[in-house]
Amino acid sequence: MRTLERRVKNLELLLKVRKFYFNVMEWKQQQDAEEAERRRKAEEERAAAHAEWQAQRAAEAAKRQAEEAARPVEPRAVAPLPSPPEPAPEPKPPPWTYDPPPEMQIRPVSWRRSPPYDDGSEDNYGKCIVDYDPLAEEDADYDDDS
């Protein structure tokens, strides 16, 4: 008997919990519907305010246009036409350059250090002496008389 009573109590408790759950769900749906209705009304009010603002703006624009049309036309000074632009100056020719013949062109020269030269005398000890003259070969066959 006790188990039967316990089961009945459990079932009654379960029914109460279920009723509470459905009451909460019903309340939530009601809250959502009220919120949607508030949003819809606010949107309608915003749309009405915007339409009213646009109507006022259009009325002001029509009034301004009517005032401008009723005002007598004042003669305006006509600006003189701009003068045509001056033609661009002729470009300057490139400067004249002279290409020297190959025998007069400067040849590249590479230099290198020579080792110290020691001929036994004290005055040249440790100094580099260059005995090579790159123009000596060219000067050898140069003839001043021709």
pLDDT, tens digit, for every residue of 2-40?
Answer: 888 888 888 899 999 988 998 888 998 899 999 999 999
Distance of alpha carbon 77 from alpha carbon 138, whole angstroms:
83
Distance of alpha carbon 142 from alpha carbon 146, whole angstroms:
9
- 57-99 pLDDT, tens digit each: 999 999 998 888 888 777 777 778 888 888 888 888 877 777 7
Distance of alpha carbon 30 from alpha carbon 27, whole angstroms:
5
| pLDDT attached to residue 77 | 76
The model carries a pTM of 0.34
Distance of alpha carbon 43 from alpha carbon 49, whole angstroms:
10
48's CB contacts (< 8 A; 6+ apart) are: none
CB 128 within 8 A of CB 112: no
Report residue 53 as tokens: 């603002």
Distance of alpha carbon 121 from alpha carbon 127, whole angstroms:
11
For 90, counting Cβ atoms within 10 Å of its Cβ (0-12 exposed, 13-18 middle, 19+ buried), the class is exposed
Distance of alpha carbon 86 from alpha carbon 64, whole angstroms:
45
Distance of alpha carbon 95 from alpha carbon 85, whole angstroms:
29
